[in-house]
Amino acid sequence: MGENDDSEIIEHHVDEAMEKKTSQRSQTRSFLESVTSSERDGHSSTQSSHRLLAYSDALISIIATVMILPVAHTKIGEHEELKESFQLLLATKIAVYLMTFLIVTVAWAAHIRLFQVIERIDDFLALLNLACMMLITFLPYTFTLMATFPENVLGILLFCACVMVIGLIQAAIVIYGFSRPFLLNEQIQISQDQAYFKHHILKVIMRVPIMCLFASIFSFIFFQLSYVILAIVIFLPYIAQSLKWCKAKAIGQPLEDEPDAVLFYTYHPSEPLSKERVEAFSDGVYAIVATLLILDICEDNVPDPITVQEKFGGSLVAALRDYGPEFLAYFGSFATVGLLWFVHHSLFLHVTRASRLMGLFNTFSLAFVGGLPLAYELTTEFRHDPRNAAEAVQASCVILFFAGIFQLAIWVAALFDERQTLHPLVRYGGRDHAFMLAKLALYPCVALGTYFLTCVLSEFSASIFHLMQLAVPVAFLLLRLLVGLSLVLLRALLTALRKTPEGAAAAAEGGGLMEEDEEARVPYSDVVS
Amino acid sequence: MGENDDSEIIEHHVDEAMEKKTSQRSQTRSFLESVTSSERDGHSSTQSSHRLLAYSDALISIIATVMILPVAHTKIGEHEELKESFQLLLATKIAVYLMTFLIVTVAWAAHIRLFQVIERIDDFLALLNLACMMLITFLPYTFTLMATFPENVLGILLFCACVMVIGLIQAAIVIYGFSRPFLLNEQIQISQDQAYFKHHILKVIMRVPIMCLFASIFSFIFFQLSYVILAIVIFLPYIAQSLKWCKAKAIGQPLEDEPDAVLFYTYHPSEPLSKERVEAFSDGVYAIVATLLILDICEDNVPDPITVQEKFGGSLVAALRDYGPEFLAYFGSFATVGLLWFVHHSLFLHVTRASRLMGLFNTFSLAFVGGLPLAYELTTEFRHDPRNAAEAVQASCVILFFAGIFQLAIWVAALFDERQTLHPLVRYGGRDHAFMLAKLALYPCVALGTYFLTCVLSEFSASIFHLMQLAVPVAFLLLRLLVGLSLVLLRALLTALRKTPEGAAAAAEGGGLMEEDEEARVPYSDVVS
């Protein structure tokens, strides 16, 4: 199977795709949707990478969230104080969870970038990618070792070994890809400078494994240093580029004529990230997190037949009543995670291009979402103990607030560069701008409100929390109505004010709250258009 | 927001989509890929359902596989015989797992069908769907109750309650969809008979909840009967239609002018199933199963610092050596599941349309894939105990064999109707036909070979098994080469035989093995074309 044979296949494929495109038009939409690109492209030894990437996203999202399990399974004794247990037992595990989440998403970002260069795959690349995935899924274990035995070099050595092998596999993928140019991104295929691109990309990819090699050598001499090296390797490029970018933005000076970010492997915060893959990754995390509690419930919360006979006189209902809080926690966390997914979904419907900065905020939001089931379990576990209950509810509110506020941050980051990233309808002053803002602001506002209410009325914290859980889905259902109503009211108010010029000036000054301010401008543009 | 307003939005959207389509042509492929349909459609209150369905698929695939966890966590004592433990401890759990998998996939098939009628969604439908998902994810728990307390009606009542509520929500989705026709499948939108379709679909959907209502009433009188009713409700339509279809196929009589299956909610085995969703569901299952063991490893296999100090003299490496088998099992099962995914991926690249029968075989294959991690764990756990080791290896081989053979069955089912379901290249006599067959046959053949080898050489079963694990990835890498070589050899043989007419006749008779037979015909068509 020489190269000649392969390029023939490609030509054949292209002709076929063209043919299909013209014939498709006449067919129904439902059929059109089922004709995925993988199907159009899949008739030769090279394939569209679509499904490979979807599978990789699924694997990586599971691995990113897996370290929440040890956190969630930390059992707290009945008579201990919640606060102390938190500090003593959970701190390390939470740190491991967050570290894993961060590092795995960095690996995921590198994977996105690699497969933005290699756009088509064949069997060999698919198998190489699977080997790469196997090593990525092993990373969380090395972190657990590092956290449990911080003085032992084994954890860091294992981590470095994994990263080095991942780097070598990625380099092999790049070299293989460039040896069969029809697998590459079209822009690179067209360009005359393929050798230059290849060397540049290999240089960027190999930087990390080489630094890891140094880190693993240093770990025998002075192991604290290797932690520092690793931190530098992983985060420095991002931080340095972000600072440079922020400085340029702050001064207002235009960035030096940016080369195409995809091809040059930069770390610009405005670098485009495949929107499809951000969605797939987020879907995976939301799905795992939503079902985390049912995994435990199915395994642990089935009473033993003998216990039921002896303790509850054979009444299964009475036995299950003991598990009531777990079920409540499950439905509560499923609903919350589902609604957060719904907000994310609504936002990304209107995003036309995701940038690296938006991806970062998305990662932070997802990391907090992962903590929700745990918080909800605590909240329902302590419902009979007012003091701990208030603290558990407040912890839930804090997590919920951050999960929501980082979603809002994605939106704000998108607004900064709205011509590139957002659809006109939701841009500043657009028709759906206020509605989107309301959707994104709902959870942070509710979480903040609940937090302060429980501070004041700490005795009723559990009831307040349950009320909030019931109210939020209803609020989402009525949101469009509410936003519409408040816009109509504002419009009426503005028309009334405009009749007296002094009133209009007062209104312009009076819009102190950012939210009201934004909403107030929407009717303006509505009236104008 | 009246209907008038909404239809305006739709018109606007259609214009926009048209405009986009023409302008897209000129742009690069990488950009084209990032412009998903959700983006094109997402600029109004109605949205493409693509991502909602992807998220649902992720949730359902997690739930389908979750009941393998209790099976995998069943600990077997050191001195017990493996066979007995299997019979005593695992039988119920495995039954629950398989039942869950089957029922959840039935629910999933109903979900596919529903959203083949409702093709676009709005916020209200998205929220309704989330509520529906919440109930589906609760189904496994009701099965566990049924299996643990078969004499108690609570399990069956809970199950019926869930199914009834799911049915009501689906009915609500249908009614809402038909009240806003622009959400519907285009064929229904165009048709004059919307009211008829609506009633027909509602009738099919409500059949199940109503039967469940009867089952729950009967459960108080004579609860065995309700199990029978449930089995009838769930499987009868499929079985009846399949028998009818098989009969028609066997007699060779053409089926009575089939109405469009999507619109009429039939249960024909040849009814099309959304290929995209079959892929998404399979990806989810493969991803969860591949990472099942690492979930456990991260949580359970980190040694306690105190134990390391006391038992191993502070040597972490020595402590980890104890966990060696778990790591080996992890890498082994990840590789096997990954390669099975790879085979599935290769097959579906060439599938143009998935039928219900293919979906059924896919479900069976996935159900066996779910058992693999457990089998691999057993295999490595018993490596020092030759007798149990041989049995564990054989169990693994049986599971692997069925996982592979049902993948092959998908392919055979597709070949039966190859004009509808397969791309020309892999059809009987096509260029890649032999290669695809070899890919699909590799795992069943290897599993069968290993099984018989361990029967003969039961003392070396563990070594044989590990050798197999190492050999299979290499075999996949070299498969194209091997198939190419054997085809060249066959061609040479055939040309040699053709020179003597008797030889040709002998060759035509001699091809007893199906595999050789199929491969032998490929060069024929190659030579002809």
Q: Say what the pLDDT of residue A255 is.
A: 53
**Chain B residues touching A141 at Cβ < 8 A:** 294, 297-298, 301-302
Summarised one tens digit per residue, pLDDT across range A25-41 is 333 333 333 333 333 44
Q: Say what the pLDDT of residue B427 is.
A: 79
* Cα–Cα distances in angstroms (integers) from residue A213 to residues A143, A149, A165, A167, in the given order: 18, 21, 11, 11
Residue A222 has pLDDT above 90, yes or no: no
Summarised one tens digit per residue, pLDDT across range B93-115 is 888 888 888 888 888 888 888 88
Q: Between the ranges A169-173, A311-315, B117-121, B204-208, where is the mean pLDDT highest?
A: A169-173
Interface pTM, i.e. ipTM: 0.80
Distance from CA of A157 to the nearest CA of B (A): 12
Nearest by CB to B67, from A1, A298, A316: name it.
A298
Of residues B430 and A482, which shows the higher confidence score?
A482
What the block records as the tokens of A441 is: 């602001």
Residue B294 has pLDDT above 70, yes or no: yes
Instruction: Using a CB–CB cutoff of 8 Å, tell me whether B318 touches chain A.
Output: no
Q: Say what the pLDDT of residue A284 is.
A: 92
Chain A, 361 to 420: residues with Cβ < 8 Å from chain B are none
Give the whole-angstrom CA distance, residue B339 versus residue B494. 33
Mutual orientation of helices A275-300 and A324-349 as an angle, nearest 10°?
170
Q: Tell me the HSE value of B490 on the side-chain side, using a 13 A CA sphere.
A: 23
Q: Helix or strand or coil: residue A354?
A: strand
- One-letter identity of residue A450: T
Nearest by CB to B476, from A127, A262, A301: name it.
A127
Nearest by CB to A302, from B138, B145, B349: name it.
B145
Indicate yes or no: CB of B42 within 8 angstroms of CB of A186: no
Nearest by CB to A316, from B152, B275, B423: name it.
B152
Distance from CA of B501 to the nearest CA of A (A): 32
3-state helix, strand, coil in chain A (%, to 5): 80, 0, 15
Summarised one tens digit per residue, pLDDT across range B378-398 is 787 776 776 777 888 888 899
Summarised one tens digit per residue, pLDDT across range A398-430 is 999 999 999 999 999 888 888 888 887 777 777
Q: Say what the pLDDT of residue B342 is.
A: 92
Give the whole-angstrom CA distance, residue A17 versus residue A36. 12
**Predicted confidence band at B49 (pLDDT cuts at 50, 70, 90)?**
confident
Distance from CA of A502 to the nearest CA of B (A): 34
Summarised one tens digit per residue, pLDDT across range A289-304 is 988 888 878 777 777 7
Q: What is the DSSP letter of A511?
A: -
Cβ-contact A59, B287 below 8 angstroms: yes
Residue B511 has pLDDT above 50, yes or no: no
Residue B407 has pLDDT above 90, yes or no: yes
Give the whole-angstrom CA distance, residue A409 versus residue A407. 5
State phi, psi for A48 to the nearest 5 degrees.
Answer: -70, 145
Instruction: Using a CB–CB cutoff of 8 Å, tell me whether B513 touches chain A.
Output: no
Indicate yes or no: CB of A42 within 8 angstroms of CB of B126: no
B442-471 residues labelled b (16+ CB within 10 A) or e (exposed): bbbebbbebbebbeeebebbbebbbebbee
Tell me what the mean pLDDT of segment B196-204 comes to.
85
Tell me what the mean pLDDT of segment B270-274 comes to.
76
Cβ-contact A387, A415 below 8 angstroms: no
Q: What's the CA angle centered on B206, arms B200 and B212, to 5 degrees?
A: 150
How many residue pairs bridge chain A and chain B with CB atoms within 8 Å of each other? Answer: 255
Residue B1 has pLDDT above 80, yes or no: no
Give the whole-angstrom CA distance, residue A129 versus residue A111. 9
**Chain B residues touching A286 at Cβ < 8 A:** 55
Q: What is the DSSP letter of A500?
A: S
**Predicted confidence band at B196 (pLDDT cuts at 50, 70, 90)?**
confident
What pTM did the predictor assign? 0.82
Tell me what the mean pLDDT of segment B17-28 comes to.
38
Tell me what the mean pLDDT of segment B42-47 comes to.
58
**Chain A residues touching B283 at Cβ < 8 A:** 51, 54-55, 58
Q: Say what the pLDDT of residue B260 is.
A: 53
Could you identify the residue written with the tokens 């235009």? A254
**Chain B residues touching A51 at Cβ < 8 A:** 279, 283, 345, 348-349
Cβ-contact B275, A36 below 8 angstroms: yes
Of A106-110, A335-339, B428-432, the range with the lowest mean pLDDT is B428-432
**Predicted confidence band at A164 (pLDDT cuts at 50, 70, 90)?**
very high
Indicate yes or no: CB of B134 within 8 angstroms of CB of A320: no
Give the whole-angstrom CA distance, residue B330 versus residue A166. 18
Q: Tell me the HSE value of A242 on the side-chain side, using a 13 A CA sphere.
A: 11
**Chain A residues touching B33 at Cβ < 8 A:** 37, 50, 119, 276
Q: Say what the pLDDT of residue B267 is.
A: 67
Comparing CA positions, the residue from A36, A126, A54, A11 lying closest to residue B480 is: A126
Q: Say what the pLDDT of residue A77 is.
A: 54
Summarised one tens digit per residue, pLDDT across range A349-364 is 888 888 888 888 999 9
Q: Between the ranges A202-216, B273-287, B477-491, B503-517, where is the mean pLDDT highest?
A: B273-287
Q: Say what the pLDDT of residue A407 is.
A: 94
Instruction: Using a CB–CB cutoff of 8 Å, tell me whether B298 touches chain A.
Output: yes
Q: Say what the pLDDT of residue B86 is.
A: 57
Q: Say what the pLDDT of residue B402 is.
A: 94
Summarised one tens digit per residue, pLDDT across range A491-525 is 899 888 877 655 444 444 443 333 444 444 444 33
Residue B315 has pLDDT above 50, yes or no: yes
* Cα–Cα distances in angstroms (integers) from residue B77 to residues A26, B70, B83, B522, in the given order: 65, 16, 12, 53
Nearest by CB to B317, from A154, A276, A330: name it.
A154
Could you identify the residue written with the tokens 């991502």? B51
**Predicted confidence band at A60 (pLDDT cuts at 50, 70, 90)?**
very high
Q: Say what the pLDDT of residue B24 is.
A: 39
Of residues A227 and B11, which shows the higher confidence score?
A227
Q: Say what the pLDDT of residue B353 is.
A: 86
**Predicted confidence band at B344 (pLDDT cuts at 50, 70, 90)?**
very high
Q: Minimal Cα distance from A52: which residue of B?
A: B345
Of residues A219 and B167, which shows the higher confidence score?
B167
Q: Say what the pLDDT of residue B339 is.
A: 93
Indicate yes or no: CB of B298 within 8 angstroms of CB of A69: yes
Rg (CA), chain A: 27
CB < 8 Å & 24+ apart, contacts of A390-394: A390/A454, A390/A458, A390/A461, A391/A82, A391/A83, A392/A82, A393/A450, A393/A454, A393/A461, A393/A462, A393/A464, A393/A465, A394/A451, A394/A454, A394/A455, A394/A461
Distance from CA of A240 to the nearest CA of B (A): 28
Chain A, 475 to 494: residues with Cβ < 8 Å from chain B are 476-477, 479-480, 484
**Predicted confidence band at B401 (pLDDT cuts at 50, 70, 90)?**
very high
Q: Say what the pLDDT of residue A24 is.
A: 39
Comparing CA positions, the residue from B403, B382, B384, B404 lying closest to residue B393 is: B382
Summarised one tens digit per residue, pLDDT across range A474-488 is 888 888 788 888 888
